[in-house]
Structure 1
Amino acid sequence: MNPDLRELIEELRADLEAGQPETLSWAEIQGAVPSDKIPDDVPQPVRELLEVADGILAGAFSLSSTRTYGYFQSVLGDMPGFTRVSDEPDKWFVFGRLHEEPLLLHRETGAVWYFPRTDGDEWYMREEFEGVASDLDSFLAYYVFGAGYAELGADDDEWWNFLADQGVAGSDDEDGEPGA
């Protein structure tokens, strides 16, 4: 994991903990888990995230923990046929949810995929499934912990306001990484 992203996650966790119990309803970043406690089938980028945060609730995002990752994988068999995910479930890893909808990591490429939101349709009924970031670090830095949260999450919830208060919601460099 990018050291700057690791530092940002640790800083945000400390700030959220300082605001508890009020922050618990919309955000929580769990502590790290030792690498020997992470199952072997977890892809390296997700392993690195778990070594920093064993589960994240960040507004519209819920990222798996070592306790919940098995449950998250159960959705692989229910993926719409056009995605071809259920034909090749070993190539995919469900690492979290966005608005209760699966977020997937392609094991070979490291790219993050999701179902773009449409009005009224459940994710499993949609006909769009697309890559949203080339790797997990970029996805986390921009969409979960940065300015891109307004694009996929919301631009008017507690998490967005928290990111704005932290100075990361509106500033990003050309790589999508949060600015200083």
Structure 2
Amino acid sequence: MVITPELRRLVAAARTVARSDREWSMMNAVPAASANPDVPGAPADYVDLLRVVNGGIFGSVVLFGAELVDRMQYSADSVDGAPVVLGRESWFCFGKVGEDPLFLDRRDGSVWGFPDRGITWWQSGVFERLAADLGEFLVDQVFGPGYPALAGVREDDQWQRLLAECRARSPRG
């Protein structure tokens, strides 16, 4: 299972800290869990995540909630002339960074995306593995030190400040 106690702690801390500051609560959303997520055809790791947080906005990263994710699967459809051929049978779109979609590989659960190269994502020939699984991606790149590189933001980004406040309030420091 990719939903670790550390990930649960990070989500809970971000939820608490986001509510404590007007700017953070306006620019981010850390929703409650979905008790019984109904997302037919979704990978088990994504459904497990919904039991912790039902989507959300984490700075430049958006995770689609149960009510939206099915409508966002068009991102996995093949596009004529695109250098990278996807397909819903192999890829599950669970979110985005800026305007660039994030995918779970249905075969092994790894996370993939199109790094921002200044062109529309489907025109890019650069499609990279971002993490071995959804839990690693979230801990390291959404709630961790990999966020600035993933999102292409400066260190004073508001989500970075929120994460710093989470660390400051943590008993672990």
TM range, smaller chain: 0.7 to 0.9
Give the superposition deviation at 1:24: 3.0
Q: Which amino acid letter does the alignment assign opposite residue 109 of structure 1?
A: D
Q: Matches of residues 1-180 of structure 1 in structure 2 within 5 Å?
A: 1-19=3-21, 21-35=22-36, 37-79=37-79, 81-86=82-87, 89-118=88-117, 120-153=118-151, 154-155=153-154, 156-167=156-167
Deviation of the 1:38 alpha carbon: 2.2
**C-alpha separation in 2, matches of 1:41 and 1:17:** 33
| Cα distance in 2, alignment partners of residues 61 and 25 from structure 1 | 15
The CA deviation at 1:9 is: 0.6
Matched residues in 1 for 2:165 and 2:16: separation? 14
Structure 2 gap ranges (5+)? none
Poorly superposed stretches of 4+, deviation over 6 Å: none
**Corresponding residue SS for 2:104:** strand
Give the superposition deviation at 1:60.
0.6
Indicate the structure whose relative CO is greater, using CA pairs within 8 Å and at least 6 residues apart: 2
Question: Any unmatched runs of 5+ in structure 1?
Answer: 169-178
Return the TM-score normalized by structure 1: 0.84
TM-score, normalised to structure 2, is: 0.87
Give the AA of the match of 2:145. Answer: A
Measured after TM superposition, the shift of residue 165 of structure 1 is: 2.3
Report Cα offsets for 1:120-173 as digits up to 9, x if no partner.
Answer: 3111111111111010000000110011001111233110111122228xxxxx
Cα offset for 1:42? 1.4
Cα distance, 1:22 vs structure 2: 2.8
Q: Look up the SS of the partner of 2:89 in the other structure.
A: helix
- Once residues 11 and 165 of structure 1 are traced to their aligned partners in structure 2, the CA distance between those partners, rounded to angstroms, is 9
**What letter matches 1:8 in structure 2?**
L
Q: What amino acid maps onto 2:43 in structure 1?
A: P
C-alpha distance in 2 between matches for 1:11 and 1:163: 9
Higher deviation after alignment, 94-103 or 120-129: 120-129
The size of the alignment, in residue pairs, is 165
